[in-house]
Amino acid sequence: MKRSYLELEDKIGYAFKNKELLKNALIHRSFGNEHAKYRKLNNERLELLGDAVLDLIVTEYLYKSYPNALEGDLAKLKAMVVSEPVLARISKSLDFGQYLMLSKGEELTGGRERNSILGDVFEAILGAIYLDSDFIVAKDIAMKFLKYPIEHINENEDILDFKTILQEYSQKEYKIIPTYQVVSEAGPDHLKVFEVVAVIKDDLKGYGKGKNKKSAEQSAAKDICKKLGVKLYETL
């Protein structure tokens, strides 16, 4: 275990003075179901702290980096940067999953690769770093992994709300709101596939498919956005 911690610290780029903080950051609440000693000891408190620290780190970075951006744009961008998919992707790149202390049941159901767990553990480890050092160190570590996702936010299609992006663009450019219509519905109830068309004007349409109407509409909105070359934030 000590060797594993050293490997993990090397990946993070930070050596803990208090190794117990790192250990606590890796204990999922399910572990306590099978180990009485850990019934009340898990990473949720550190996750709460790390979430607050991360929020300030990202907000400060965006505020300083994009002086011309409006408050609403900064708020939406911050929400996407600190979202589960982004944080989970970072955790996967650092192999955080292999160091987690999980219950057997959680492990058998894919807990080491689950985005919700991996997003939480990133925040827990950041909270642990903050307690073990200070805000400046925590910020330097966090931004080492977050700077690229921030600067390439338009490429993170899994976290973009294309319907909102398209609506704002359409209102600004054409003074109208896009409409959506289901054009086909196929498959049994548990495996439905919906096809939706999004329309701004008669000659400007986008098509998308999904397991439900909402995901199909997102896909259709994305199709139009790509056809128009719409960027998330023109001011960033």
Q: What is the mean pLDDT of the chain?
A: 90
Q: Please return the burial class of 49, using the count of CB atoms within 10 Å of its CB with bins 0-12, 13-18 and 19+.
A: middle
Q: For residue 140, indicate whether it is catalytic.
A: no
Binding residues: 47, 120, 123
Q: For residue 60, indicate whether it is catalytic.
A: no
pLDDT at position 157 is: 66
pLDDT at position 1 is: 46
Full 3-state SS string of 37-101: HHCCCCCHHHHHHHHHHHHHHHHHHHHHHCCCCCHHHHHHHHHHHCCHHHHHHHHHHCCHHHHCE
Query: Domain limits of the chain?
Result: 2-155, 162-228
pLDDT at position 235 is: 42
pLDDT at position 40 is: 81
Considering the segment(s) 162-228 as one domain, its CATH architecture is 2-Layer Sandwich (3.30)
Six-digit token pair at 7? 């490997």
Cα–Cα distance list, 214 to 33, 170, 181, 210, 217 (Å): 36, 19, 11, 8, 5
Reported as type and span, the H/E element at residue 225 is: helix 213-228
Considering the domain 2-155 in this protein, what is its CATH number? 1.10.1520.10
Active-site choice (51, 132, 217, 223): 51
Six-digit token pair at 13? 């780029």
Active-site choice (106, 123, 132, 217): 123
Cα–Cα distance list, 178 to 61, 74, 231 (Å): 33, 24, 17
pLDDT tens-digit profile, the chain (236 residues): 445 789 999 999 999 999 999 999 999 999 887 777 777 889 999 999 999 999 999 999 999 998 888 898 888 889 889 999 999 999 999 999 999 999 998 889 999 999 999 999 999 999 999 999 999 999 999 999 999 988 887 666 666 788 888 998 899 999 999 999 999 999 888 888 999 999 998 888 999 999 999 989 989 999 998 898 886 654 44
pLDDT at position 39 is: 76
pTM: 0.75
